[in-house]
Each structure stands twice: as structure tokens, then as C-alpha cells.
């Protein structure tokens, strides 16, 4: 059985003080056992304080990006070693905003995934089609290519332990969620791609989330689908009450 994983992606929101206030607000509700694993992917500046604040709880902390080298002349970048030292467990790789605004490609995603795994960070690898691609009937082709190239060169065991997030770009921050059936269809397809590339065991074990305008009132239907193992949540993860409702359904 795959444990569902609910990950909040705060994007460029929350100062350290705001991040700590959020954690103090959710701790009474989420510090015990929950059916879903809880992850907060925060800005780099808040990671150290958050990792300290969630010590002794099952809440895990994630970064939103990383660079693939361990150190060097890469002004402005953050290495996997630096994240690991802070107590970070997860790292989002290839979010569509990074692909769109920061020239992330499937090749750089692959380098980052490998670097994360090498240093014991669990990558949350984002894939998903744009509205244009969906309307052109290219959804399956796009997610297949992103999955193939993003995971190229990994072992079946490595793939089994990571997380894939299917995030249709047209659903992110738009209030327009994929239907339960549409999300399930694409996620089942991605699981099939993993099966073809890495075998049945990896396909059975890898967790695949849905992301795109997930809210407390639409998460239940999505998570009831057999192939959907949780959600990557942007906007609705910023408010403690709504985040608690997403994790404790
Ligand atoms: C995201 O940023 O990964 C996301 C899914 O955002 P939202 O939930 O706001 O659509």
C-alpha cells in the first residue's frame, strides 16, 4: 500500500516569522499520526527554522528547487548538501513555474533528480501539459516524455522511492481543477510509463500526486482514485486551517 503524501508548495510566500507561526498553528492537529504524510515545501530562507520547529513530529520539510552540483561558482544557487544539512527531506524538481520562467528543461530536471537522490533527498518530480498541449491532444505524449527524460538513468529502486506530481499547467493557480476522472486517467498513464521503463515493482511503489487548484472541498474525490497518491498544493496550503483540512480529511 502506498501512503498518500500531501505536500504544500508555498512558492515565494512567507517570511521566517510567518512560516513559524504557520507551523505552530498546525502542530496541535498534525503532530500526531495522520493517514497521509505531511510535507511543507517552503522558500529556502525558512527551511532551517522550519526543520527545527517540526523536530519530533511526522511533518517533513521540502525545498522548492536545488542545483545539481555540490559546490562551486554558481552564484545564487543552493546545493543538495546544503539542503541536507538543514534537515530537509524532500525537494520539488521541475515545477512548471521553473520550467516556464527559469528555463528548466527535462535535462536539467534529470540532473537535479539525480543530485537529490545522491544526497538522500526525495525528489517530487513535476510533469504536466499546458492548455495548448491538452487542446492539441498531446497530454499523454508530453507527460510521457517528461517522465522518461526526467527519470532517465535511474534504477528501479530509486524510482520506487521518489514522488511524481502530475500538475496540468492550466490547473495551477487558476481555480480550474482537472476532473477526478481526467486526473486519474493521466496518472494511471504515467504509472504505466514507469512500468514500461522500470518494471512492475517500481510502478506499484512510486507515489504519484495530483496538483492543480486542490482545495479542501475537492481533494476527497481526487484521493479516492486508485492511482492518485496525494496532492501537491499551492494556494490552499498557505492557510493553516485549509492545510489541516487537506491532510486530515
Ligand atoms: C502548485 O504550485 O504546485 C499548485 C498546484 O498550485 P495551486 O494549488 O495553487 O494550483
Distance of CA 60 from the midpoint of ligand 1 (Å): 18
Distance of CA 64 from the midpoint of ligand 1 (Å): 12
In this prediction, residue 32 carries a pLDDT of 85
Given a contact cutoff of 8 angstroms between Cβ atoms, the answer to whether 18 and 247 are in contact is no
Q: Can you say whether the dihedral through the CA atoms of 222, 116, 56, 239 is positive or negative?
A: negative
Instruction: Rounding to the nearest 10 degrees, give the CA dihedral for residues 95, 100, 105, 109.
Output: -10
> Measuring from each residue's beta carbon to the nearest atom of ligand 1, which residues come in under 6 Å?
9, 11, 167, 172-173, 211-214, 232-236
Could you tell me the pTM of the whole model?
Answer: 0.97
Instruction: Identify the domain containing residue 191 by its residue range.
Output: 5-248
Helix (H) or strand (E) holding 198: helix 180-198
ipTM of the complex: 0.97
128 forms beta bridges with none
Residue with CA closest to ligand 1 atom 2: 234
**pLDDT classification of 249: cutoffs 50, 70, 90:** confident
Count of domains forming the chain: 1
Cα angle at 138 between 236 and 196, to 5 degrees? 90
Q: Model confidence over 215-247: pLDDT tens digits?
A: 999 999 999 999 999 999 999 999 999 999 999
The CATH number of the domain holding residue 180 is 3.20.20.70
Amino acid at each position: 500500500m502506498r501512503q498518500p503524501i500531501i505536500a504544500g508548495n508555498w512558492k515565494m510566500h512567507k517570511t521566517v516569522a510567518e512560516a513559524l507561526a504557520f507551523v505552530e498553528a498546525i502542530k496541535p492537529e498534525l503532530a500526531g499520526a495522520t493517514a497521509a504524510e505531511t510535507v511543507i515545501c517552503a522558500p529556502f530562507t525558512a527551511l532551517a527554522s522550519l526543520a527545527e520547529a517540526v523536530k519530533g513530529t511526522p511533518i517533513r520539510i521540502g525545498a522548492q528547487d536545488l542545483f545539481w552540483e555540490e559546490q562551486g561558482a554558481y552564484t545564487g544557487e543552493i546545493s543538495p548538501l546544503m539542503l541536507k544539512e538543514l534537515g530537509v527531506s524532500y525537494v520539488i524538481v521541475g515545477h512548471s513555474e521553473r520550467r516556464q520562467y527559469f528555463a528548466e528543461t527535462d535535462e536539467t530536471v534529470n540532473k537535479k533528480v539525480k543530485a537529490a537522490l545522491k544526497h538522500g533527498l526525495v525528489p517530487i518530480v513535476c510533469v504536466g501539459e499546458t492548455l495548448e498541449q491538452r487542446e492539441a491532444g498531446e497530454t499523454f505524449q508530453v507527460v510521457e516524455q517528461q517522465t522518461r527524460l526526467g527519470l532517465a538513468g535511474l534504477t528501479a529502486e530509486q524510482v520506487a522511492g521518489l514522488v511524481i506530481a502530475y500538475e496540468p499547467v492550466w490547473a495551477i493557480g487558476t481555480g480550474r481543477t482537472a476532473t477526478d476522472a481526467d486526473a486519474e486517467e493521466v496518472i494511471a498513464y504515467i504509472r504505466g510509463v514507469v512500468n514500461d521503463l522500470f518494471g512492475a515493482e517500481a510502478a506499484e511503489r512510486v507515489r504519484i500526486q495530483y496538483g492543480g487548484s486542490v482545495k479542501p472541498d475537492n481533494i476527497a474525490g481526487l484521493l479516492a482514485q486508485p492511482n492518485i497518491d496525494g496532492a501537491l498544493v499551492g494556494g490552499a496550503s498557505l492557510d493553516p486551517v485549509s492545510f489541516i483540512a487537506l491532510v486530515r480529511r
